[in-house]
Amino acid sequence: MKIVNRTSWVFTLSSAIILFLFAYAVYFFSELNRQEEFIDRLRYKIIWRAEFIFDAQVQEHQIRRIHEQNKKLINEAQITVFDQQNRVVFSDIGEPTYPDVKLESVKTSNFFTWEQGKELYMGLNYQFEGKPFFLIGHAYDVTGFAHMERLKNILITIYIVALFFIFFSSFLFARYILKPINYITHQIKDVSEHNLSTRVSYSNAKDELSELIETFNNTFNRLEKSFNNQRHFVSIISH
């Protein structure tokens, strides 16, 4: 493989690794931010629903009807209200089947979350008229996951386009850097025993290539001198 191609591939590969790590970091921290925002939104929804249930003095079937209507418009949280004896006071999901360990974890802590599938579950302690209750709500972050999916597609697209651009630009850059070497190679190929006086010329006298060319020219000087001495010796012998 030529140096131009090898340089292009090495530079592209190293850039691909750096870009991948950067894109992964962007996606990772965006996902953390989505989770934190959704926890805040879900907590607000659960508390708001609890206040509505306890304060609105509305029949339970009417609350469920309002909840079902809201679900058609927004991602409404499903909520269940328990008393301290783990009895269901209100539930959007009929008869809930939460594990006892989850119920006890919610009761013993002011705030408790867990995930089941892609839904986030949250437990909160709540008081109404001095009576303690605890709430469990869950919801699916439709908006957040949709944003993350769009972000993933954008990052993948940018990543692929950037790799093509990096490979093309690195190829051109490598050709530009190695162009003097090709020029020097063509000059060296022109040197033979019939024109040993030819020397390699190079305009830039301040880089590493100038040192290499100087070494070549010194070598050619010694070769030319040796050939001249040999010819002179042969001419003397022949006479």
Shared domain for 198 and 144, answered yes or no, is no
Residue 179 lies in a domain: no
Instruction: Give the pTM.
Output: 0.69
pLDDT digits (tens, 9 = 90+) for 43-86: 888 888 888 777 665 555 555 555 554 554 345 678 888 888 88
Query: Where does a domain end: 91, 126, 148?
Result: 148
Query: Where does a domain end: 95, 127, 148?
Result: 148
Full residue range of the structural domain in which residue 141 is found: 3-148
Q: What is the mean pLDDT of the chain?
A: 78
* pLDDT exceeds 70 at position 192: no
H helices of 56-80, in order, are 60-73
What is the tally of structural domains in the chain? 2
Residue 212: name the closest of 193, 187, 194 by CA: 187
Residue 38: name the closest of 104, 118, 102 by CA: 118
User: Under the phi-then-psi rule, with left for phi > 0, alpha for psi from -120 to 50, and beta for the rest, what region is 157?
Assistant: alpha
